[in-house]
Chain A
Amino acid sequence: MPEPEPQPHPQPPRYDPLEPGDGEAIAPTGQGGQMDLALDEAESLERVIPPGPGNPREKARSLWSDAWHQLRRNPVFVLSSLLIVFLVLIAIWPSLIASGDPLQCDLAHSQEGSAPGHPFGYDTQGCDVYTRTVYGARASITVGVCATLGAALLGAFLGGLAGFFGSWGDALLSRVADIFFGIPVVLGGLVFLSVVTSDTVWPVVGFIVLLGWPQIARIGRGSVITAKQNDYVQAARALGASNARMLLRHVAPNAVAPVIVVATIALGTYIALEATLSFLGVGLRPPTVSWGIDISNAAPQIRNAPHMLLWPAGALSLTVLAFIMLGDAVRDALDPKLR
């Protein structure tokens, strides 16, 4: 295919509107003859670097690929994601690193310190603290991931629609979100969760989603409002795009970054919230193994046997830290202003 040559700029005969006959009336506003040199130069400059397969510029660089490029070189991101991968692995297959059974306890060893084969020692019930700490990851990660997914999807969906369509639906949603914001987390948890009798993690997940979605909805709403004011959304509309297409293809991809960031950071706090609720006795309950429960049981014995508290609490802190660090790194990478 012959490469299309940019046409030599055809000069229309210059029409001088003010003083016909006198050649020098209006200063050139871009149609002047002497501009052609610069113009050809601009064209050739553009063509000096032919974008070919070997040219690195050809590699498409969008917001996402830029962000990924930056993330890979960010030690905070690498460290936190390695830690998270490890935590997720042991949450799925705890027997990989712990051979014991967290529910098999021997009261004879109650509150004993570390012993061969039991590096973290025993708790009050004589259970192996190491095994329980490893098995506790499953509950925390399940609650954290499920609650975050639920809150993010619900919040982004409602917030996105409210921000895009505005008017009374937006007003209604914002007020409803305010109501949920007004519920104190711990008090709400004590009231709501004390009436459920299920032994699974789902009531806790549901409660966290219920209190967590307004935060995501607010962020999502705000960023959709910002994105929909962009000219390209107007342009898409002017070229006949429907509401659904504008929202899904033009607004959503440009508004999703803040939601991802907030959700990642929220994941850490949700894990901590699960531990808090379990500590208070309204979250997960035995026989589910959870860091929150273990911390709760260990707390009264902190002076006799600090190791019982130290290990599950340390694991919890490390997990929360890993997710918050990940969220931080993602935020830095997705915010072009911080680059």
Chain B
Amino acid sequence: MLLEVRDLHVEFTTRDGVAKAVNGVTYAVDEGQTLAVLGESGSGKSVTAQAVMGILDVPPGRITGGEILFQGKDLLRMKEEERRRIRGAGMAMIFQDALSALNPVLTVGAQLGEMFTVHRGMSRKDARAKAVELMDRVKIPAARQRVGDYPHQFSGGMRQRIMIAMALALEPSLIIADEPTTALDVTVQAQVMDLLAELQRELNMGLILITHDLGVVADVADKIAVMYAGRIVEAAPVHEIYKAPAHPYTRGLLDSIPRLDQKGQELYAIKGLPPSLLAIPSGCAFNPRCPMAQPVCRGTVPPLYQVTESPVPRTSACHFWKECLHAHA
């Protein structure tokens, strides 16, 4: 396995108390595989990614338990300097908004080249040539002329390509993309996703795609992990989850997608609000919003049930996953 996150717990100390952002997340990605992490804002998907990258703000954040194995080694036990060497070279991250994720006072060439001068000790001139090469690779037109431009001189899609180029510069084996297309308009979204998927295939990288866009997920992901209130509530191969979700929350998400055959009707929405991380409901965190909730849901935290063992394990954290599966089928 390329990356394995096991029972990760992350807390944030705030003025109002301790916010439990991640409560026992377990997932794994292999080379060449795409894992989509799905969830609402505040479900802990980005925090998990930050913990993996080691860019969590400590304090107020704190990793209180679990392990993160990257190529077999526990990142949480490493020295900071060792981790820094892995960042960029072993794993890299693509951020949501490329305009704010690129330094406004440096040219894109300088920022791309920095990857090579920092990690590979290249001269500035060689690094610049490499930067042009990278820009070609992510299909930026006229790369040679534009390498000296500043980030704000590029369009949104082009900026996101530069962001991707920066992440791919040292050909890391794992890429974490935190909502890479959310800030783009739909026409450009597709291009950027395709580019990312293509480069991933080419370099045989593992990809963790954090998103709340089910449309993006369907085309590119191999596995999906659905997060709610800091836990993974359902994990499954991508087509199975769309066919028949085994958790009422996943079902709610799928039902919320606008569909053309429902034109004119009111859009379905999961009722209620995501829980406050300062006070996660007892039992199943989803129980106050769940249409299938029973008394047992308030009392006991559902364990991760094995829905299917093979070929790929599928899990659901719902006491009534069987009913849920059948209700949809």
Chain A interface residues toward B at CB < 8 A: 1, 3-7, 9-10, 12, 14-15, 17-18, 24-31, 35, 38-39, 42-43, 46-47, 50-52, 57-58, 60-64, 230-232, 234-242, 245, 249-250, 253-254
| Minimal beta-carbon separation of B184 from chain A (angstroms) | 9
User: Quick check: is B307 within 8 A (CB to CB) of the other chain?
Assistant: no
Q: Offer 20 A-B interface pairs, CB within 8 angstroms, sorted by A.
A: A3-B142, A4-B139, A7-B139, A9-B190, A15-B239, A26-B215, A31-B193, A31-B216, A39-B187, A42-B187, A46-B158, A61-B153, A62-B150, A238-B53, A238-B88, A240-B85, A240-B89, A240-B118, A242-B84, A249-B103
User: Quick check: is B218 within 8 A (CB to CB) of the other chain?
Assistant: yes
Q: For A231, what are the chain B residues with a Cβ–Cβ distance below 8 Å? A: 95-97, 100-101
| Minimal beta-carbon separation of A293 from chain B (angstroms) | 44
User: Quick check: is B167 within 8 A (CB to CB) of the other chain?
Assistant: yes
Contact, CB under 8 Å: B101 / A254: no
Q: Lowest 5 CB-CB distances: which A-B pairs, in order?
A: A17-B242, A29-B215, A240-B88, A30-B186, A240-B87
Interface majority SS (helix, strand, loop, mixed), chain B: helix
User: Quick check: is B203 within 8 A (CB to CB) of the other chain?
Assistant: no
Contact, CB under 8 Å: A27 / B145: no
Q: For B259, what are the chain A residues with a Cβ–Cβ distance below 8 Å? A: 18, 25-27
**CB-CB nearest in chain B for A29:** B215
How far is A27 from B260 in the complex, measured between Cα atoms in Å? 6
User: Quick check: is B166 within 8 A (CB to CB) of the other chain?
Assistant: yes
How far is A15 from B150 in the complex, measured between Cα atoms in Å? 38
Contact, CB under 8 Å: A25 / B143: no
| Minimal beta-carbon separation of A5 from chain B (angstroms) | 8
Partner of A35, one of B139, B144, B187: B187
How far is A242 from B106 in the complex, measured between Cα atoms in Å? 17
B contact residues, range:
35 or more
Asked if A29 meets B149 with Cβ closer than 8 Å, knowing A1-B144, A232-B102, A239-B87, the reply is no
| Minimal beta-carbon separation of A257 from chain B (angstroms) | 10
| Minimal beta-carbon separation of A297 from chain B (angstroms) | 50
Asked if A234 meets B55 with Cβ closer than 8 Å, knowing A4-B139, A35-B187, A254-B103, the reply is yes
Partner of B254, one of A4, A18, A52: A18
How far is A143 from B104 in the complex, measured between Cα atoms in Å? 36
Contact, CB under 8 Å: A10 / B194: yes
Contact, CB under 8 Å: A245 / B55: no
**CB-CB nearest in chain A for B138:** A4
Q: For B86, what are the chain A residues with a Cβ–Cβ distance below 8 Å? A: 240
Contact, CB under 8 Å: B194 / A9: yes
Q: For B95, what are the chain A residues with a Cβ–Cβ distance below 8 Å? A: 231, 234-235, 238
Contact, CB under 8 Å: B190 / A235: no
Contact, CB under 8 Å: B215 / A31: yes
Asked if A58 meets B145 with Cβ closer than 8 Å, knowing A7-B139, A30-B186, A42-B187, the reply is yes
Contact, CB under 8 Å: B139 / A245: no
How far is A14 from B218 in the complex, measured between Cα atoms in Å? 9
How far is A234 from B181 in the complex, measured between Cα atoms in Å? 18
Number of CB contacts from chain A to chain B under 8 A: 175
Asked if A17 meets B158 with Cβ closer than 8 Å, knowing A6-B141, A24-B260, A245-B118, the reply is no
User: Quick check: is B204 within 8 A (CB to CB) of the other chain?
Assistant: no
Asked if A249 meets B190 with Cβ closer than 8 Å, knowing A15-B219, A17-B242, A27-B258, the reply is no
Q: For A58, what are the chain B residues with a Cβ–Cβ distance below 8 Å? A: 145, 149
How far is A14 from B190 in the complex, measured between Cα atoms in Å? 12
Contact, CB under 8 Å: B145 / A51: yes
Contact, CB under 8 Å: A25 / B260: yes
User: Quick check: is B188 within 8 A (CB to CB) of the other chain?
Assistant: yes
Q: For A241, what are the chain B residues with a Cβ–Cβ distance below 8 Å? A: 84, 88, 114, 118
Q: For B141, what are the chain A residues with a Cβ–Cβ distance below 8 Å? A: 3-6, 43, 46-47
> A236-B114, A237-B55 given. 15 additional CB < 8 A pairs?
A6-B141, A25-B259, A25-B261, A31-B219, A51-B142, A51-B145, A51-B146, A51-B149, A61-B153, A64-B105, A232-B101, A232-B104, A239-B87, A249-B114, A253-B105
Contact, CB under 8 Å: B148 / A42: no
How far is A58 from B181 in the complex, measured between Cα atoms in Å? 27
Partner of B105, one of A7, A28, A254: A254
| Minimal beta-carbon separation of A77 from chain B (angstroms) | 21
Q: For A30, what are the chain B residues with a Cβ–Cβ distance below 8 Å? A: 181, 186-187, 189-190, 193, 215-216
**CB-CB nearest in chain A for B189:** A30
Partner of A61, one of B114, B150, B163, B194: B150
1/0 per residue B99-141: CB within 8 Å of A?
0111111110000001100110000000000000000100111
Within 8 A of A (CB), among B158-201: 158, 163, 166-167, 169, 181, 186-191, 193-194
User: Quick check: is B308 within 8 A (CB to CB) of the other chain?
Assistant: no
Contact, CB under 8 Å: B215 / A238: no
Contact, CB under 8 Å: A230 / B100: yes
User: Quick check: is B155 within 8 A (CB to CB) of the other chain?
Assistant: yes
Contact, CB under 8 Å: B215 / A250: no
How far is A249 from B194 in the complex, measured between Cα atoms in Å? 32
| Minimal beta-carbon separation of A330 from chain B (angstroms) | 17
Contact, CB under 8 Å: A254 / B104: yes
Q: For B261, what are the chain A residues with a Cβ–Cβ distance below 8 Å? A: 24-25
| Minimal beta-carbon separation of B186 from chain A (angstroms) | 4
User: Quick check: is B93 within 8 A (CB to CB) of the other chain?
Assistant: yes
